Amino acid sequence: MIARYSIRVTSLAYLVVILVAPVTLIFWRAFEHGWHPFWAAISSPFAVFALKLTLEIALVAVPLNTIFGVLCALAIVRHRIPGMGFVNAIVDLPMALSPVVVGLSLYLLYGRDGWFGGWLSDHGVKVLFAYPSMLLATTFVSLPFVVREVVPVLREIGTDQEQAAETLGASAVQAFRRITFPAIRWAVAYGVVLTTARAIGEFGAVSVVSGRIEGRTETLPLGPSSAVSEPRSTSTDTSSSATKSPKRFVTLRASIAMSFLPRSDHRHRHERQDREGRQKHGCCIRPRR
């Protein structure tokens, strides 16, 4: 008895610390100065635009992933198509990859020097730092949820009722509409809820490909982060924001490369900088060690 209550208390305490406390703190910080500052913040033109852009992306990404998820689940469970084992593994790729890696991959594909970026730019199609790249990133990261909710249900219900309907003259569409879909509708609904939540709350991949241009490509999750971490770009600074993002990407790659250099290379580089500084200023600078 004591052990049972101890487990319950420990579980509830863990949930309070991990889930309830952070959410409570967020609400308290939001309303600590009253209702009017909160309303002014969420009703500002930039906040309203960010909300509209987020909903526009979700309204396209969620139906696409729902249709794909149902069809992919049917192909995995009901049909013996060559290569479906590979597809079944690829579906889980968005869960295994970091969203930032997804954003960098899209950047490498659709950047000006990417595989498709040069050709698209020559034809007047803008993907990066615009709506298309944000939609691609959101669709990719929210891809697996409907599939992973529908596949177990399809395997559990079996094919007996569908085969009986076919023997009675029902077409494949009629069997799906009257037998299969009613059996999987709650799994589809749950997958849609998870997909919608991921699409609305996606931050990492969208942050890389959007450029965080306030009033142009800033979604709802990006707004608070931009306000806290760095100066926000305005809608009139589109060109400067578009040039800053490639510079940040190049700096990131250079930093990663430098982290793999031997320590001796770092020492030689610092000594060379010291010599150049002494020659430039004509003074003695103590070498770094």
| pLDDT for position 99 | 92
pLDDT at residue number 229: 66
Longest CA–CA separation in the chain, Å = 96
Say what the pLDDT of residue 251 is. 40
Structure token pair of residue 237: 């600074």
Distance CA 39, CA 51 (A): 14
Task: Give me the residue spans of the domains in the chain.
Answer: 44-233, 236-289
Any bridge partners for residue 213, and if so which?
233
Position 166 scores a pLDDT of 87
Secondary structure (DSSP) of 155-168: HHH-SHHHHHHHHT
Instruction: State the pLDDT at residue 224.
Output: 76
Q: How far apart are the first and last CA of the chain?
A: 63
CATH class of 44-233: mainly alpha
Place of tokens 């450029």: 211
Segments of the chain with pLDDT less than 50:
231-270, 278, 280-281, 283-289
Phi, psi for residue 202 in degrees, rounded to 5 = -65, 130
**Tokens matching residue 115:** 């595989």
What is the pLDDT, as a whole number, of residue 86?
A: 86
Tell me the pTM: 0.72
